[in-house]
Structure 1
């Protein structure tokens, strides 16, 4: 198919005929040919072996056009291909924009289907149970009526069709199709089930668009001998692949949470009220409430301080830890025994949930803290109203070799940020990729040298840990915002830093000040896009996924290098593992991770070839510390200046052409 892919992207090809002013992008063609070659090469591996999968790693920076570069050869190959993304935004872009364009260019209908996580679909059984509940609140009657009307017309049961339903709606969690609440073929609504219908459609589709969480959930269930939504496929494309390690860590680990018990107890109560006699129902309801109280007492053992902490250290300080864990294990066992006696079908599913929670608790909270698995890190998280315990693999490489790479013939891993200092060593090591994996690095075609500027303060500016840094940061941010006339995304590595700068700038700026946490993410981004002089302060998720071309985002300011907190138990365990293996935890683990995060943040500036603006990194360690060169080598090829006069001249130069046009 190489000739077909080559022709597709050529200046005289079908894509050019469809798009006015189309010009081939050499790197897009390079990527498409690499993907096509992988998919078309005859496969000689043996399923079940770690080296079964052929792997292509592609870093394609913004502007390369990676979506079409993998979609076109995937469709032309005739194989069943799954495309997995990390964000809903990219899923929507593929389904609503890229695949329809590809279909129009090829002049044929593409058999594509978007498959979301189960929680996005309504469960008919839980819906009917909710509607028949004697405790149904009149307050929810209007929402219930709207759901009822929607069910008369919907083909999918997808909550995305309910634009009026808020993200925090208390109704949806009660009626969604969560996997641990599914009764499968034993469900009385199985014949009409939206999930069952979706599974049939997925089995017939040639191109499936999913998210990483769903893909790994399906991967783990298949390893356990259970089927899920996704059919067998010949290739998978992981877009936004820099998230894979984190997602794999979640799914190859084990967790036990207070809210999991709450959900179970709530479902038991609802089922008892609708299915049992008053006498039996009262007994089961009392048992479910007793289980909830037992878990509340167990959660009360943990300190009130919020955050993630080492579990084994905490356990060793408890005199009666084994007895406390055993009391919850016994409560779950008694619950399972009583539920098993209630009958089959739905009661069997509830029984299995009890058993699974009991097994998980014994994994994450070993009765003997000295008998834990050395391959896992044990930690707990205290949130505002709950406790969760986890056992997380220190490395996911072996799990990926055993599952993903041993079962899927072809795997493409792509993202705008996979390399550090132009090398894939860190990414490949963390994901267990061997030297047989093919790699390709494609730089952004955007004119960074002509249209962007990188500013780093001179060495007189204090380092983040030095006295006076916060005050200097506020003054520098204010100065730069005055030069850029607002129009800036200011990214922070912590809420503490963001809040301090927000407080200092409030009432001092001549531009609208938007701060993460004061409104929904979508609302803030919409205002930031529309109010062109506004300033948005944010942390965490805003470091990526913000795609705002044009003048509204003319500057990206970053407070400091985004090193992870080394006290996090998972980070700490992985650093210790690097040390035990003879490596340098800081240079081999912390620095590469920080580089990838920084590259994501920096990438918010240039979203089209017409964009221009400033990248300000307010951390002098880039020039003062030995590791600074690793970060500098990973930045876009824009000129670097260390004085604000140069920044002012740069913005004056950007404004000049616009003034001439007027």
Structure 2
């Protein structure tokens, strides 16, 4: 930064988000020079209109506060003069600068034509692993002072401090990284890219030595990786079985917990004293350990001693990437700090999680035409200077494209010939794994790589955490859908883009490339082959499987299961057609590679609009290829799992064969774990907070292929005081969820309940369709509109992660969620006080999957409802209720509006599996609100 450069960091608070309808209510400027804040300006502004309630809630600025403030006309001249000759900076500059210029022009002043920078994309590139990029996120992440978020004076000062951090960070990057950033066809708001260009110029004028923690390999600056020293094992002292021994081990780091200690001892005793079977699935250790017990440490500590004594590794399988990170961190911090011997944990993920350096270097040379992809490359260039793992999960990318990220993870054809050989991140992880007692994986990784894990580390121990999720992980990983009409439409769209010679089109781009006409012919030939064969394949499916009969329609469509033997013969009969389609997809990929190479070589010849059209065309071709890969997957599943797979066709209720969908995958896990997983490990430890579905049910054992005759099972009592911390209210006079008026009824109940109680609420549903209906009813309710609660709905107002972030940071929220909201959510304290179960979580009836699973169970002499349908619902309900109490000082209530929990014979099973000592009340709907208001008043 040159000494004379003055940065004017501006923040506005406005009545609305557009200058056409909104007015400024506060302006603040922080002036930065030489990486210091040298001056400030701030004033409230009288907007001459009413400030909306939501703006007052957000900013704290009231009508009374601006009543005596100057009008914009009074401060415009002074402000305009202040900003002349400065570099305009804002956190989202394309809001603040146009809005301010519109106000200047409204009062007769000229618009500012300043150089302008945006701190949002700069933050995203320079701190690619930050948890969020709102101003409050960045100030928290960088420990910058930010006293009053959403007030312009505080926001401007905080953005000024952020700008200083940005300039220092940019200038501290290696020259080779800055050069790569400058070379990228990077499209950033206004003049934002000049930050990197200035940093590069300064570095070139005053070259800085490469920091010792970095190295440059083939023009990429990377964080150095040092191979860890070999792990020294066999140093463990005797296992601390007694309370006094554990307390001595914990010191001041951990508190002794009685139930946790009992679980620790039970695990250690089982694997040292029990006679363990070598038959897969026998002599497993199963423990249901409730939330708050500390089950992670409860299994890690005894296994650390077992691993050290027996010179074996321990594989820990958990359901989610987040939990994988947490368990690995617990091993390498908490466990490491208390044990008298060395312990290490390494996290292992599939290849697609890790950046491949050679593939990334190749991607840097390719201009895909996409501004978003170039932005991701910029983030990765900076990330390489700090990451030791190369794990994509470290990055906070905005809408990353799956296909592009898969390409960046793709290993080179000749890895030994790559300059990055020996430095690739996937290789680093396996080096770490070889020198660790604990290998932490997710459920999907365990299912896919069990043989590799077991064979490479000599029959390791196995812990399956939250084991109730493992069968579903296996099934979901195997299931795919192929909508023929969507596939064909994309082929036709691609054809039209190539044929069209007027703007905008790929045809125009091809006309300007060397060899473009020949390339156009190659594209058209491949696309025409697909356009010809796809409808024929669709018709063949229809004639072979659907023409002569239909099953009852489910929600407007028909599902027809395909007999395995008939489908196998169908694939044989269609061999020639499938080969032709496969070759056409391969030819499309080759043509696309050539197109991208020619486009990249023709620098600065195409507009931003043309670049974006190329990016759209590339994504279109990649989606076409993905559907062809699904066909191959279906054929492979038929070969690998003929007895455990199910395939079905779906068509519209009007028998329109142009809307066929082919679906398929594994139906059940019958013998899957016994054949594919357990043979490679010691008898497993199976653990979770909600494993059992009744006192007698063998559902868990059946799904996990565990021999119930030899299993060692323990169910530990709740550690929370549910008698005083929670209550369950079941509404006995609610209509059945199948009644036509149920949605309207539920919406009215929710409005009345939440606007009165005023607590963060999670409402759990079984379908997104019902969520949408309830959301619309609530939003149109007059009582709701007059209240101060905010309604969020999965699939409508944001993703699960965005909604979760808001629940963690905001109050007066009502969230409507399905599927993933039933489990894996940790929102203690005021983040969640009320859970509402809209409908008991039974699977949708009469689907192909449901019918096929029932047929399998009946063939084995079992009752489908009691052996599958009900146990699934019990687990789901227990998981939903488990979202509520997360800490010893927590409190909250659960309301169930499905009367079947009281009226049906299976309701007793559901009620009996609720947390021990949790008060259960049966109420009329009119009594729910006063009862809950009393509960919360007492606990407040």
> TM-score band (shorter)?
0.7 to 0.9
Q: After alignment, is 479-488 or 246-255 more displaced? A: 246-255
Q: Is the 8 A contact 1:484 1:554 kept in 2?
A: no
What's the CA shift string for 1:526-567, capped at 9, x where partnerless? Answer: 212222221111111011111111123111001111110123
Trace 1:452-467 onto structure 2 (pairs within 5 A): 452-458=726-732, 460-467=733-740
Match of 2:901 among 622, 647, 653: 622
Give yes or no for contact 2:637–2:645 (8 Å, CA) kept in 1: no
Equivalent residue for 2:582, pick from 327, 332, 339: 332
SS of alignment partner, residue 519 of structure 1: coil
1:17 equivalent to 2:249? Answer no
Given the alignment of the two structures, is residue 119 of structure 1 paired with residue 352 of structure 2, yes or no? yes
- Structure 2 distance, partners of 1:462, 1:656, is 30
Distance 2:938 2:834 in 1: 17
Change (3 A) 1:334 1:635: same
* Matches of 2:843 and 2:802, distance apart in 1: 28
Quickly say closer, same or farther: Cα 1:105–1:306, change in 2 above 3 A: farther
Give the one of 214, 218, 228 matched to 2:449: 218
Residue 236 of structure 1 aligns with which residue? 462
Distance (whole Å) between structure 2 residues aligned to residue 199 and residue 141 of structure 1: 30
Does the 8 Å contact 2:461/2:684 carry over to 1?
Answer: yes
Q: 8 Å contact 2:857–2:864 — kept in the other structure? A: yes
In structure 2, what is the equivalent of residue 599 of structure 1?
878
Matches within 5 A, 1:37-56: 37-41=269-273, 45-46=277-278, 49-50=279-280, 54-56=283-285
Distance 2:806 2:477 in 1: 36
| Aligned: 1:487 with 2:760 | yes
Q: How much has 1:36 moved relative to structure 2?
A: 1.4
Match of 2:298 in 1: 69
Counterpart selection for 1:197 from 412, 428, 438: 428
Give the corresponding residue for 1:449: 723
- The residue that corresponds to 1:248 in the other structure is 474
2:806 is aligned with 1:574: no
Q: Matched residues in 1 for 2:313 and 2:565: separation?
A: 48
Equivalences for residues 61-210 of structure 1 within 5 A: 61-77=290-306, 78=308, 79-97=312-330, 99-106=332-339, 109-133=342-366, 135=368, 137=370, 140-163=373-396, 165-169=397-401, 172-177=404-409, 183=413, 188=418, 189-210=420-441
Cα distance change, pair 58–378 in 1 and its aligned pair in 2 (3 A): same
Q: Choose which of 775, 780, 791 in structure 2 pairs with 1:513.
A: 791
Q: Which residue of structure 2 lines up, in the alignment, with residue 409 of structure 1?
A: 682
2:930, 2:893 → 1: CA distance? 10
Q: What is the SS of the residue equivalent to 1:6?
A: coil
Query: Once the 2 structures are TM-superposed, how far is the Cα of residue 141 of structure 1 from its aligned partner?
Result: 3.6
Per-residue Cα deviation, 1:63-101 (whole angstroms, up to 9, x for no partner): 221111001111122231111111122123223346411
TM-score of the superposed pair, with normalisation by structure 1: 0.80
Q: Secondary structure at the match of 1:236?
A: strand
Find the aligned partners of 1:628 and 1:324 in 2 and give their Cα distance.
50
Aligned length: 612
Q: 2:771 aligns with which of 464, 486, 498?
A: 498
Q: Which moved more, 1:392-401 or 1:251-260?
A: 251-260
| C-alpha deviation, 1:122, in angstroms | 1.0
Inter-partner Cα distance in structure 1 for 2:458 and 2:483: 32
Deviations along 1:439-476, one digit per CA (max 9) or x if unpaired, are: 11112211111221111112x32111234322322222
Deviation at 1:477, TM superposition (A): 2.1
Q: Tell me if the contact between 2:891 and 2:939 (Cα under 8 Å) persists in the aligned partners.
A: no
Does structure 1 residue 437 correspond to structure 2 residue 711?
A: yes
Question: How much does 1:322 deviate?
Answer: 6.4
Change in Cα spacing, 1:95 to 1:279, as seen in structure 2 (3 Å) is same
Distance 2:874 2:244 in 1: 33
Q: Distance in 1 between matches of 2:826 and 2:324?
A: 14
Q: Give the distance between the partners of 1:487 and 1:335, measured in 2 at CA.
A: 50
Deviation at 1:133, TM superposition (A): 2.7
Counterpart residue number, 1:655: 937
Post-superposition offset of 1:362: 3.6
* Matches of 2:313 and 2:522, distance apart in 1: 47
- Select which of 512, 520, 523 maps to 2:802: 523
Structure 2 residue 308 is matched with structure 1 residue 34: no
Cα separation, 2, equivalents of 1:335 and 1:457: 56
Q: 1:219 to 1:96 in 2, by over 3 A?
A: closer
Gaps of 5+ in 2: 1-235, 495-514, 543-554, 591-625, 653-657
Match of 2:692 among 405, 419, 436: 419
Q: Pairwise CA RMSD of aligned residues? A: 4.3
1:140-173 superposed Cα distances (whole Å, 9 cap, x missing partner): 444323323433443321223333x224346842
> In the aligned structure 2, how far is the partner of 1:195 from the partner of 1:260?
34
Question: How much does 1:329 deviate?
Answer: 3.5
Structure 1 residue aligned with 2:3: none
Shift of 1:106: 2.1
Unaligned runs of 5+ residues in structure 1 are 267-276, 341-352, 367-371
In structure 1, how many angstroms separate the alpha carbons of the residues matched to 2:651 and 2:356?
31
> What is the DSSP-based 3-state SS (H/G/I as helix, E as strand, rest coil) of the residue aligned with 1:410?
coil
Cα distance change on mapping 1:40 and 1:281 into 2, 3 Å: farther
**Aligned residue number for residue 156 of structure 2:** none
Give the Å deviation of 1:358.
Answer: 7.6
1:629: Cα distance to partner? 1.0
Answer yes or no: is the 8 Å Cα contact 1:81–1:233 preserved in 2. Answer: no
Match of 2:913 in 1: 634
